[in-house]
């Protein structure tokens, strides 16, 4: 299984109302220093219905890199609709981070 396949398989498990960080997914895939590579996987996500790339955020809860709709504002609206808790413009990771 390729790194990309591992990332998509793990990310597909992130439930509604929760988020994971790029670094968290990299670590779960066995490549703890590959957060940027996870970002590239999300950028090239072939199926948003299977892999909820909008549920992947930066390590500080910041919303980054979303290519669909109106970008970051669309990502935030989707997360809010799913019940993700925010603190200002960042996801409150202590309340909404997936423990996977």
Closest CA to 38 of 11, 63, 13, 17: 11
41 carries an active-site annotation: no
Beta-carbon contacts of 63 under 8 Å, excluding residues fewer than 6 positions away, are 57, 72, 75, 76, 79, 89, 90, 91
Choose, from 25, 29, 41, 53, the residue flagged as catalytic: 53
User: Active-site residues: which are they?
Assistant: 53
């Amino acid at each position: 299984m390729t790194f990309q396949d591992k990332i998509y398989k793990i990310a597909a498990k992130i439930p509604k109302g929760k988020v994971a960080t790029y670094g968290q997914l990299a670590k779960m895939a066995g490549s703890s220093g590959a957060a940027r590579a996870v970002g590239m996987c999300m950028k090239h996500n072939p199926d948003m219905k299977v892999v909820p790339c909008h549920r992947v955020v930066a390590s500080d809860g910041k919303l980054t890199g979303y290519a669909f709709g109106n970008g970051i504002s669309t990502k935030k609206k989707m997360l809010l609709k799913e019940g993700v808790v925010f603190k200002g413009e960042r996801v409150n990771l202590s309340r909404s981070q997936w423990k996977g």
